[in-house]
């Protein structure tokens, strides 16, 4: 079903991979060759996006609670925006799916060059079950990695 929604807008390259973690029953990684922004949602159409979110929620429902499914969505803009969804609780998982588009409103603030480490090529978000919202998680810049703690970036060594 998700194949059909995506195939209507993209060329799909599908491959089965061996899991790199035994914590999850299923792992779905989607690379979208566009930036995560308003233009993407206008072009992709909000109705189609809502259908994708419904499929993600149904995948979780069918697999049950716990670490049944992990989804990673990569938007290949500059910088690359990555959403990592690995929430065990179904209600929180569904909430995370619904709130992905809310990150759009925060993106200009998060991508402010004065707040980011220099030369960032990738930013990842994780759903925080304590605050029930998407939070900045990590960033990559050429040969450096950063993690977001509190309200600032810390270089990982």
pLDDT tens by residue, the chain, 157 residues:
555 555 556 555 555 556 566 666 678 888 889 999 999 999 888 888 998 899 889 888 887 776 778 889 999 999 999 999 999 899 999 999 999 999 999 999 999 999 999 999 999 999 999 999 999 999 999 889 999 998 899 999 7
pLDDT digits (tens, 9 = 90+) for 24-62: 667 888 888 999 999 999 988 888 899 889 988 988 888
Can you state the angle between helices 46-63 and 90-99, rounded to 10 degrees?
170
CA distance 156 to 144: 7
Name the nearest CA neighbour of 73 among 108, 103, 45, 113: 103
CA angle 155, 34, 127 (to 5 degrees): 50
d(CA 137, CA 124): 5
Report d(CA 157, CA 155) in Å as an integer.
6
Structure tokens belonging to residue 36: 């995560």
Domain boundaries, the chain: 2-7+26-152
Q: pTM, whole model, 2 decimals?
A: 0.85
Report how far apart the first and last C-alpha atoms of the chain are (Å, whole number): 42
């Amino acid at each position: 079903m998700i194949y059909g929604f995506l195939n209507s807008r993209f060329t799909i390259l599908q491959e089965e991979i061996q899991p790199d973690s035994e914590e999850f029953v299923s792992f779905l990684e989607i690379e979208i060759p566009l930036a995560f922004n308003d233009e993407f949602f206008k072009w992709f159409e909000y109705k189609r996006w809502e259908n994708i979110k419904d499929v993600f929620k149904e995948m979780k429902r069918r697999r049950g609670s716990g670490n049944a499914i992990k989804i990673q969505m990569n938007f290949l803009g500059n910088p690359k925006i990555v959403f990592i969804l690995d929430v065990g609780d179904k209600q929180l998982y569904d909430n995370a799916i619904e709130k992905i588009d809310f990150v759009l409103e925060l993106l200009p603030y998060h991508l402010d060059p004065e707040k980011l480490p220099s030369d960032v090529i990738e930013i990842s978000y994780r759903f925080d079950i304590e605050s029930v919202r998407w939070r900045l998680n990590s960033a990559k810049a050429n040969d450096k990695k950063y993690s977001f703690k509190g309200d600032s970036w810390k270089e990982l060594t």
